[in-house]
Structure 1
Amino acid sequence: MKKLDLNKQEIETVESAIQHWQEEGYLDSEKAKELKDSIEEKSFEWGMLAKYAFWIALGSLILSVISLFADDALVTFVKGFYETPNIVFCVFFAALAAMFYFLGFRNKEKNPENNFSSETLMLAGAFSTAASVGFLGTILDRSTSHYTISFLLSIIIYAVLTVKLQSKLLWVFTLVALGIWFATETAYHSGWGFRFWGMNYPLRFTIFGLIITAFSIWGQPKIKVLEPYTSTSYVVGLLYTMLSLWCLSIFGNYSDFEAWTGVRQYEIFYWGLLGIALSLGLCLYGMKTKDFVSRDIGFVFFILNLYTRFVEYLWDNINRTIFFLILAISFWFVGRWAEKIWKKKDGKSKELS
């Protein structure tokens, strides 16, 4: 019988389920042993290697382009393009994007198991699309500096391609483009200032993230073509919210740097308190409902908020030696706590095997 290759975490989950079914009488000991014997731990994470290799390949490609401009022998050649009309670059990057999308879609159809290579091609297409739309913006809005129309166009392009090519990566680009459009649109209507309706960028994006998250929970599942990307929207929405709220806990709703430097951190303590409460709430909700995304994001930002408050209130008030000593001890306790959880899970896994 062909054995099922699983990683260590997946084996722990499956063996826990088999053990539970055996204790409840759904499986006898012989069948339970047979099922456990049909599982085999992966000897090497080839999937992860493929994923990182494709990312490194794309990063190397970007670095090679950057290095082009640092090469003295090519500087003269590059200068020849300075007078090239923007429409040429716009069409070039549009054609390049179309080529990458075509190759990615064809690879996905012919070799659906080669997901990483397909997504890498989609990512290259997304960057090319952004470049093409950027040059289009300089052509259409040269005099007004109102680039929000071009960003809105990129959202439509990414959204349509997401549905046509069934790519979650492109949906991430759609949501990122939506965030950029939101930032530029609100900035445009506030005269390119930092405040819009009395809100600075962190406060605006906190609300923006909450809207994305709410849409992913109650709105997106009802739209058939967007339903497969609900979990992606949920993650991006939470990250928008928690990152913006963390920035808000540091800077408050201030848009003037000089005004902010004159404010004591305890005067904007309520933003930090809100960040801690929301992250802790996410963490508890995730543990209760086994929603690992909420749990992990909540836990990370709970720790981040606690240490941010620690630095804010103690950096200028205690001796540096004591400060770093407290920091070291606290991280040691966090490490010990994580180690105990890991050993507990590892012990259960050995018992089951």
Structure 2
Amino acid sequence: MQVNKQQGRFLDSTIEQWQKSNLINEEQSLTLKQSYEVLPFDWQRLAKYAFWLAIVCIVISVSSALVDKWLMQLLEKLFNAPNSVKCVALSLLAVLLYGVGIHRKRRLPEKMYSNEAILFLGVAATATAILFLGKVIDTGSGHFSLLMLLAAIIYGLLGLWFPSKLVWLASLISLGSWFGAETGYASGWGAYYLGMNYPLRFVLFGLVLIVVGKFLFSSWQAREAFLRPTRAVGLLYLFIALWILSIFGNYGDYDSWDAVKQIELLHWSLLFGIAALIAVYHGIQYEDEMTKGFGLTFIFINLYTRFFEFFWDGTHKALFFAILGVSFWLLGSKAEKIWQLNLKKP
């Protein structure tokens, strides 16, 4: 087995600790150490980052070309085609990229990063094709959220069919964008929809996504691997919405929010804290590192947000940042202590 340097150091220290604790003898320790090889360079990580940087460079290149006026005029002359033709051309390009990605996944499954990068380019081509489709069928109604729903459906079906978690994540992000835009359109782009502002709506959206993902993928064994990313996105929607809600409450404009005292929003902070505690309890009870991690992270975000809200104006800035620095020091020391204890456990 080939491992990187960090993994090798961890395995070495673990085996040595087992030997010191008399869980294994010297011969077994030597056998275990000979079962893996430490790579001098982490080529896997390099491949991952290189492909992501390649995609970023391509996006920057296209964006730069589109921003440049001279290149824009040149592109207009070269590609002076109706939107319908552009939509069809980009759709065919997306199909080609998806086909290449699927073929490579089946033929070269070990090249996961380059395969996912090709599929991501297919996602980008699909999004652009849908954009041109919107221009073709535009009636001036402003109901563009239907295009986001179409993107979510396409990405969802393709992601489950390939299968590809990256394309599935694009579906979940598109679905969240559709939900926000659709409720905005239904409310006439007002602040409220059914008495809820945007953060409160996304609290419900995140909960629904978590529940539906659990119900769907727990019973679908062939796609059980999609449960984790679905739940992660659902928790992200939920906790970010709760965090924003704890700051602004269910207010739809700045003047209404500015007129109330921060203490009047305390119940939203309590709701945020209770949700984080429930996530931590679930993570401990069911040994779920994801929910425990989300819960602990947003407990600290909640505490530090409240610290800024209640003490920023009334505290001297030197004292404010001194308290903040000491709190981070204590937090880091506690985390280091827990980490050391975990290393010493047999």
Q: Does residue 258 of the first structure (1) align with residue 248 of the second (2)?
A: no
Contact 1:94 1:129 in 2 (8 A): yes
State the Cα distance separating 1:258 from its structure 2 match: 1.3
Match among 189, 200, 205 for residue 202 of structure 2: 205
Map 1:1-353 to 2 at 5 A.
3-5=1-3, 8=6, 12=10, 30-31=27-28, 33-71=30-68, 73-80=70-77, 84-223=81-220, 226-346=223-343, 348=344
CA-to-partner distance for each residue in 1:48-96, whole Å, 9 max, x for gaps?
Answer: 1111111111001111111113445424314547974322322222122
AA at the equivalent of 1:251: F
Distance 1:186 1:128, change over 3 A: same
- Corresponding residue SS for 2:3: strand
Distance 1:126 1:330, change over 3 A: same
Distance 1:333 1:254, change over 3 A: same
Unaligned runs of 5+ in 2: none
Distance 1:285 1:308, change over 3 A: same
What is the alpha-carbon distance in structure 2 between the residues aligned to residue 263 and residue 74 of structure 1? 51
Distance 1:44 1:320, change over 3 A: same
Contact 2:4 2:40 in 1 (8 A): no
AA at the equivalent of 2:328: F
Contact 1:285 1:294 in 2 (8 A): yes
What is the alpha-carbon distance in structure 2 between the residues aligned to residue 10 and residue 219 of structure 1? 38
Distance 1:151 1:320, change over 3 A: same
Distance 1:117 1:304, change over 3 A: same
- Corresponding residue SS for 1:199: coil
What is the alpha-carbon distance in structure 2 between the residues aligned to residue 196 and residue 42 of structure 1? 56
State the Cα distance separating 1:259 from its structure 2 match: 0.7
Q: Which range moves more in the overlay, 270-279 or 51-60?
A: 270-279
Distance 1:39 1:89, change over 3 A: same
Contact 1:6 1:39 in 2 (8 A): no
Identity of aligned residues (%): 37
State the Cα distance separating 1:338 from its structure 2 match: 2.4
What is the alpha-carbon distance in structure 1 between the residues aligned to residue 289 and residue 128 of structure 2? 36
State the Cα distance separating 1:288 from its structure 2 match: 4.2
Q: How many residues align?
A: 346
State the Cα distance separating 1:342 from its structure 2 match: 3.5
What is the alpha-carbon distance in structure 2 between the residues aligned to residue 334 and residue 195 of structure 1? 39
What is the alpha-carbon distance in structure 2 between the residues aligned to residue 9 and residue 341 of structure 1? 20
CA-to-partner distance for each residue in 1:240-268, whole Å, 9 max, x for gaps?
Answer: 11111111111111112211121222111
State the Cα distance separating 1:113 from its structure 2 match: 0.1
AA at the equivalent of 1:263: V
What is the alpha-carbon distance in structure 2 between the residues aligned to residue 169 and residue 217 of structure 1? 19
Q: CA RMSD in A?
A: 2.9
Contact 2:15 2:29 in 1 (8 A): no
What is the alpha-carbon distance in structure 1 between the residues aligned to residue 8 and residue 160 of structure 2? 30
What is the alpha-carbon distance in structure 2 between the residues aligned to residue 172 and residue 267 of structure 1? 37
What is the alpha-carbon distance in structure 2 between the residues aligned to residue 247 and residue 219 of structure 1? 29
What is the alpha-carbon distance in structure 2 between the residues aligned to residue 236 and residue 58 of structure 1? 22
What is the alpha-carbon distance in structure 1 between the residues aligned to residue 323 and residue 229 of structure 2? 38
What is the alpha-carbon distance in structure 2 between the residues aligned to residue 290 and residue 43 of structure 1? 34
Contact 1:15 1:36 in 2 (8 A): no
Contact 1:93 1:131 in 2 (8 A): yes
State the Cα distance separating 1:188 from its structure 2 match: 1.9
Contact 2:159 2:168 in 1 (8 A): yes
CA-to-partner distance for each residue in 1:170-222, whole Å, 9 max, x for gaps?
Answer: 11011111111111221222122221100011000011001111122233322
State the Cα distance separating 1:31 from its structure 2 match: 3.7
What is the alpha-carbon distance in structure 1 between the residues aligned to residue 329 and residue 56 of structure 2? 35
AA at the equivalent of 1:5: V
AA at the equivalent of 1:120: A
AA at the equivalent of 2:314: N
What is the alpha-carbon distance in structure 2 between the residues aligned to residue 189 and residue 13 of structure 1? 56
What is the alpha-carbon distance in structure 2 between the residues aligned to residue 12 and residue 285 of structure 1? 28
State the Cα distance separating 1:41 from its structure 2 match: 4.0
AA at the equivalent of 2:102: F
TM-score, normalization: structure 2?
0.89
State the Cα distance separating 1:239 from its structure 2 match: 0.7
AA at the equivalent of 2:40: S
Unaligned runs of 5+ in 1: none
